[in-house]
């Protein structure tokens, strides 16, 4: 590897054409200023003017140097069409209890045009993988397939309107059915329970029924994919997912779905949209809506990003549209997604900051409802910063959409009856420190971590792919971790950062890799788990990250004596304070200057109930 100059972790600006339907500042609905300030990535009164777009360097959020190697990877196929998703990844691998495995990907053998693009399939019979396929399953050009298991076999649902089935692992697929129920819509996602397949699908056009700009549509099949409901974007209107509350400017692949029993969960993402969870507990008949995080400007479709009404453009927290959702065995929903920063200083167009918020992945569940930033990067040279190459400057096209250092999160839950039944794993792609090509562009690796206690503590990061001078991207995993205790996964690997389809490099052959990480030996007993009841209070920490004092804004419904603890990632209490809190807003300062850099939990306990917040000490 040729040594290149190192860049510190900086939020370098990439400007992209975006949101052509401009909207003047006077038409923007402003959320209340207290709410807006919570989501601004800069302190109130310190808005970034257009002439000063640079962000300060940040210390890495995980200084662990632990790297563990998984089982030997296996090449199961290849492709020259190397764009496996525009944003969130679908489920494309199934690990069966009998040891058999099936997996699919979008494949082609052509160097350009990719007229033979379609779904390629391979399977493991318990002993060996099949030969690498050279042709697609379908009889027409399709892409971005989803693999589901149903009562009678396996089903692949593709973009555009392609459905094909087999009768079991390794058996031949039948004729391709054009699914008119999808109405020519694009980029589907599926999740199956028994013989029911729940499907969501997107579009880049407006919807006349709901008034959404580019919404998510839902429908289902109850006969193993032979027929689907006619999909509709109005499935969540009764729950408040409508054009009165949301612009619905989502677009292709910016969503994820999972189902477990009668519970169905849909995660809806959009760069400047609210992060929305739609949940059904009756197999899709009715829905509830939960806003995981609001975008500071309601129904934003363009214009100056002034969230607090002071006529000065604000740098706001948005999302990359990379996300994952999974339903556990108790019906709780777990979500992961990635952040970016956005700014439109004058109404001329939106710009995005890709790296300032890309050294973590957001984790959330609908039981605790605390948004947790999970560190994702390894500081291998232990210099306190993450050293990256040059591919986030906007001069090259090697990034994947609007994504920074970390992308492609995929969640899995433990199967019922296993020691990890209440555990969650998070698999993702991220830039590997100081691993660049000859012109200084970063390569990526596949990583995995997990939590035994719904996000309070996280295991050491495992580098699964563990390569140098190779690009590892588009990882996909099953929604459940079976009795074998392995997270089975598939991803794409080649020798060039970025993808040829979008012009980052010349066309080449990319390998499709299978691997599995054994998590059965991880400590799933939940050391450091907080089993106390949730306190009806809120905590906002600032500045965050901090290096000296952490200021805690604590809002209480009632006056109370309370204890404030600071707990490290090992579950050890490093600070304890007793405080008298009044009803309403309280400010508590905590000295952290002597603490080691890392992620800490602020735990507020009163009358046997607790509330938590995360802070980063740098």
Tens digits of per-residue pLDDT, 265-313?
999 999 999 999 999 999 999 999 999 999 999 999 899 999 988 999 9
Q: How far apart are CA 103 and CA 410, in angstroms?
A: 16
Please return the burial class of 211, using the count of CB atoms within 10 Å of its CB with bins 0-12, 13-18 and 19+: middle
Q: What's residue 2's pLDDT?
A: 25
Residue 125: how many CB atoms within 10 A of its CB?
13
Query: With 60 as the cut, is the pLDDT of residue 63 above it?
Result: no
Residue 469 in 3-state DSSP? Answer: coil
Percent of all residues in the chain with a pLDDT value above 70, rounded to a whole number: 85
Q: Give the residue, 267 or 1, on which the prediction is more confident.
A: 267
Q: What's residue 28's pLDDT?
A: 28
Q: How many residues does the chain have?
A: 618
Residue 31 in 3-state DSSP? Answer: coil
Q: How far apart are CA 311 and CA 544, in angstroms?
A: 25
- CATH code for residues 533-617: 2.60.40.1930
Q: Please write the tens of the pLDDT for every residue from 322-346.
A: 999 999 999 999 999 999 989 999 9
Please return the burial class of 314, using the count of CB atoms within 10 Å of its CB with bins 0-12, 13-18 and 19+: buried
Dump strand ranges (E) for 108-159: 118-124, 143-150, 153-159
Q: Please write the tens of the pLDDT for every residue from 231-262.
A: 999 999 999 999 999 999 898 899 999 999 99
| CATH C-level class of 74-81+194-494+503-518 | mainly beta
For CATH 2.60.40.1930, list the domain ranges present in the chain. 533-617
Instruction: Name the DSSP letter for residue 45.
Output: T
| pLDDT-derived band at 75, boundaries 50, 70, 90 | very high
Q: How far apart are CA 436 and CA 397, in angstroms?
A: 15
For CATH 2.120.10, list the domain ranges present in the chain. 74-81+194-494+503-518
Q: What is the CA radius of gyration of the chain?
A: 23
| pLDDT-derived band at 104, boundaries 50, 70, 90 | very high
Q: What's residue 34's pLDDT?
A: 28
| pLDDT-derived band at 391, boundaries 50, 70, 90 | low
**Partners of residue 426 on adjacent β-strands:** 411, 449
Q: Give the residue, 105 or 610, on which the prediction is more confident.
A: 105
Q: Give the residue, 598 or 309, on which the prediction is more confident.
A: 309
- According to DSSP, the β-strands at 480-481 and 406-414 are parallel
| pLDDT-derived band at 23, boundaries 50, 70, 90 | very low
Query: With 60 as the cut, is the pLDDT of residue 580 above it?
Result: yes
Q: Please write the tens of the pLDDT for every residue from 209-233.
A: 999 998 999 999 999 999 999 999 9
Q: How far apart are CA 428 and CA 407, in angstroms?
A: 6
Q: Give the residue, 61 or 406, on which the prediction is more confident.
A: 406
Q: How far apart are the first and last CA of the chain?
A: 31
pTM for this entry: 0.78
**Segment 447-455 mean pLDDT:** 94
Q: How far apart are CA 36 and CA 14, in angstroms?
A: 24
Q: Give the residue, 79 or 38, on which the prediction is more confident.
A: 79
**Segment 188-194 mean pLDDT:** 97
């Amino acid at each position: 590897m040729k040594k290149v100059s190192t860049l510190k972790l900086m939020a370098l600006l990439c400007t992209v054409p975006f949101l052509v339907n401009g909207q003047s500042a006077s038409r923007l609905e402003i959320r209340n200023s207290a709410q807006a300030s919570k989501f601004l990535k800069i302190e109130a009164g310190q808005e970034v003017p257009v002439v000063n777009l640079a962000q300060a360097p940040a210390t890495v959020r995980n200084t662990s140097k632990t790297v563990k190697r998984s089982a030997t990877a296996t090449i199961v196929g290849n492709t020259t069409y190397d764009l496996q998703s525009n944003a969130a990844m679908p489920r494309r691998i199934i690990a069966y209890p009998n040891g058999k495995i099936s997996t699919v990907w979008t494949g082609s053998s052509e160097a350009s045009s990719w007229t033979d693009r379609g779904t390629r399939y391979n399977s493991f019979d318990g002993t060996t993988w099949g030969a690498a396929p050279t042709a697609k399953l379908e009889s027409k050009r399709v892409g971005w397939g989803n693999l589901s298991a149903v009562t009678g076999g396996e089903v692949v649902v593709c973009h555009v309107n392609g459905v094909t089935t087999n009768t079991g692992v390794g058996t031949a697929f039948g004729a391709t059915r054009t699914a008119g129920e999808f109405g020519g819509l694009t980029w589907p996602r599926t999740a199956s329970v028994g013989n029911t397949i729940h499907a969501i699908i997107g579009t880049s056009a407006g919807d006349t029924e709901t008034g959404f700009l580019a919404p998510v549509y839902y429908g289902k099949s109850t006969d193993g994919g032979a027929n689907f409901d006619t999909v509709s974007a109005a499935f969540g209107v009764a729950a408040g997912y409508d054009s009165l509350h949301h612009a619905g400017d989502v677009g292709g692949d910016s969503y994820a779905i999972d189902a477990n029993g009668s519970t169905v969960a849909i995660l809806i993402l959009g760069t400047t949209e609210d992060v929305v969870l739609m949940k059904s507990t009756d197999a899709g008949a009715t829905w509830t809506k939960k806003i995981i995080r609001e975008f500071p400007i309601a129904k934003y479709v363009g214009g100056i990003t002034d969230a607090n009404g002071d006529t000065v453009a604000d740098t706001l927290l948005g999302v990359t549209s990379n996300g994952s959702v999974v339903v556990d065995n108790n019906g709780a929903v777990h979500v992961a997604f990635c952040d970016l920063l956005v700014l439109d200083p004058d109404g001329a167009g939106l710009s995005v900051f890709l790296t300032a918020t890309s050294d973590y992945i957001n984790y959330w569940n609908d039981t605790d409802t605390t948004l947790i930033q999970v560190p994702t990067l390894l500081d291998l040279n232990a210099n306190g910063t993450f050293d990256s190459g040059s591919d986030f400057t906007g001069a090259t096209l090697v990034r994947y959409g609007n994504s920074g250092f970390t992308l492609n999160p995929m969640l899995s839950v433990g199967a019922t009856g296993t020691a990890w039944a209440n555990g969650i794993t998070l698999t993702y792609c991220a830039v590997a420190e100081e691993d660049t090509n000859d012109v200084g562009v970063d390569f990526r690796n596949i990583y995995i971590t997990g939590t035994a206690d719904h996000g309070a503590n996280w295991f050491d990061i495992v580098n699964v792919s563990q390569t140098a001078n190779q690009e590892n991207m588009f990882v996909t995993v099953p929604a459940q971790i079976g009795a074998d205790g392995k997270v089975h996964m598939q991803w794409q690997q080649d020798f060039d950062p970025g993808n040829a389809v979008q012009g980052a490099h010349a066309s080449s052959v990319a390998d499709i890799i299978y691997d599995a990480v054994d998590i059965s030996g991880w400590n799933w007993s939940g050391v450091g788990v907080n089993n106390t009841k949730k306190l009806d209070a809120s905590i906002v920490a600032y500045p965050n990250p901090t290096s000296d004092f952490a200021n805690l804004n604590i809002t209480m419904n009632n006056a109370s004596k309370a204890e404030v603890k600071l707990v490290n990632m090992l579950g050890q209490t490093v600070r304890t304070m007793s405080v008298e809190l009044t009803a309403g807003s309280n400010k508590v300062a905590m000295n952290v200057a002597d603490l080691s850099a890392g992620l800490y939990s602020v735990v507020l306990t009163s009358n046997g109930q607790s509330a938590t917040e995360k802070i980063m000490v740098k």
